[in-house]
Chain A
Amino acid sequence: QQKVQQSPESLIVPEGGMASLNCTSSDRNVDYFWWYRQHSGKSPKMLMSIFSNGEKEEGRFTVHLNKASLHTSLHIRDSQPSDSALYLCAARRNNNRIFFGDGTQLVVKP
C-alpha cells in the first residue's frame, strides 16, 4: 500500500506563477518529511526538509507541515522553466526507513 500520497500527479503553471504541491502520509509513525526534485535523467536532489509544525521558507520555496494530519505542502513562487521536474515527497519512519511518493510532474511554461 502507498504510504505517501502526492497530488496532483501533474501540474502546469505559467512562468512567474505559483506552484503548489501536496503530500500526505498514511503512516502515523512518520516523523520527518523531505521534498526532493528530480530533473529528467538525473538523481533526486533534496530541496527542503521539515519535521516541526509550521512553515519553512528558503528563497522561492516554502514548505508547510501539519503533523496532526501528516500533511506537507511545497509552494514555489515565481516559477521558472528550470523548475520543471518531478517533485518527490519522502517520509522517514522509525529513524531509518525512508519511503517516497510517486511524485508530481511540474511543467513551467514560458
Chain B
Amino acid sequence: EAAVTQSPRNKVAVTGGKVTLSCNQTNNHNNMYWYRQDTGHGLRLIHYSYGAGSTEKGDIPDGYKASRPSQENFSLILELATPSQTSVYFCASGTDSNTEVFFGKGTRLTVV
C-alpha cells in the first residue's frame, strides 16, 4: 500500500507562532493534498499540488501556505497560527488518474 508519512503527529503551538506540517510520500505520486478535519466533520481542502514546484489553493486557503519542493515532500505552513486553526490535518497523495488517494495518519494541531 502507498505510504504517506506526516510529521509531527501532534503539535501544540502558541497564537501568533509559525507552524510547519510536513508530509512525505514514497510512491512517486504527482498529486498531493492537505485537508483539515474538525471534530465529527468531513475533510476540507486547503491546498493541493500537481507536482514539484506547484501549489494550488483549495477551498479554505486563508491563513495557510503550501510548499512542494520535491516530488516526495509537501509542507503546510501557518505563518501566524490562530486558535481557529486547531484541528486534525491530513496529507494525501494520488496518481494523475487519482483512482485512489492515500492518506497519512494525520497531525493533531492545537493552537493555544
Chain A positions within 8 Å of B, measured between CB atoms, are 4, 6, 32, 34, 42-46, 49, 86, 88, 90, 92, 95-103, 105
Contact = CB atoms under 8 A, between A and B. Distances in A.
Given A32-B99, A49-B99, A103-B41, 7 more contacts: A4-B42, A32-B98, A34-B101, A42-B105, A49-B100, A100-B45, A102-B42
9 nearest CB pairs, A to B: A102-B42, A43-B103, A100-B43, A100-B42, A103-B42, A102-B41, A101-B42, A43-B105, A44-B103
B90 to A, nearest CB: 6
Contact of B90 (A32, A34, A43): A43
Nearest to B4: A43
Contacts of B99: 32, 49
Instruction: Give chain B's interface residue range (CB within 8 Å of chain A).
Output: 20 to 34
Contacts of A4: 42
Contacts, number: 60
Interface of B: 31, 33, 35, 40-45, 48, 50, 56, 58-59, 90, 94, 96-101, 103-106
